[in-house]
Amino acid sequence: MRTRFARTRRGCALAILRIGPEGLILAWALIVSVMVAVFAWRRVGLAAGLPATLAVAVAIAVWQSMLPDTNADPKVRLVATSFVIVPSLLMLAVSRQRWIARHAWVLVLIGPVVFVGCYVGICELCVKTGVI
């Protein structure tokens, strides 16, 4: 039986990008992480940071839903949208902590971990509750 990691030589080189709905979750994590880190570094308040973070997260979710391999089922789309919005809001909430705000570069490091962790957690929750 062939696994997704045992395909071709070219396919194995990009195996790390096969995490998440279509492999772009790490790129999205870096986009949101850098944005939230800049907000923390520049001491942007929650009133300005929340709408900007939500706008970027929704833009990424719309981009995700426009990809050709997207499932048309509304439940699956809602779950896929939560793969971006939930970790984005968690990153924004964590950035409000004093130590993290002083060391904003840490957000860029933990961003991909938070996104992948939320992806796994949301998938696990949805499977256990029978949503997907």
Query: Is residue 3 a part of any domain in this protein?
Result: no
Query: Is residue 113 a part of any domain in this protein?
Result: yes
Residue 41 has what DSSP assignment? Answer: H
Residue 87: the pLDDT is 92
Query: Is residue 4 a part of any domain in this protein?
Result: no
Residue 80: the pLDDT is 83
Mean pLDDT, rounded, for 8-27: 57
* DSSP H stretches of helix in the chain: 9-13, 25-41, 46-65, 74-94, 98-102, 105-129
> What proportion of the chain, given as a percentage, has pLDDT over 90?
30
| Number of separate domains in the chain | 1
Residue 6: the pLDDT is 45
Could you tell me the pTM of the whole model?
0.76
Residue 102 is part of which domain span?
20-129
Length of the chain: 132
Residue 88: the pLDDT is 92
Query: Is residue 67 a part of any domain in this protein?
Result: yes
CA–CA distance from 12 to each of 17, 25, 64, 119 (Å)?
10, 18, 23, 22
Which position has the higher pLDDT, 26 or 37? 37
First to last CA, the chain: 25
Identify the band that residue 8 occupies on the pLDDT scale cut at 50, 70 and 90: very low
Query: Is residue 1 a part of any domain in this protein?
Result: no
Residues contacting residue 15 through CB under 8 Å, at least 6 positions apart = 4, 5
Count CA within 13 A, CB hemisphere, residue 14: 10
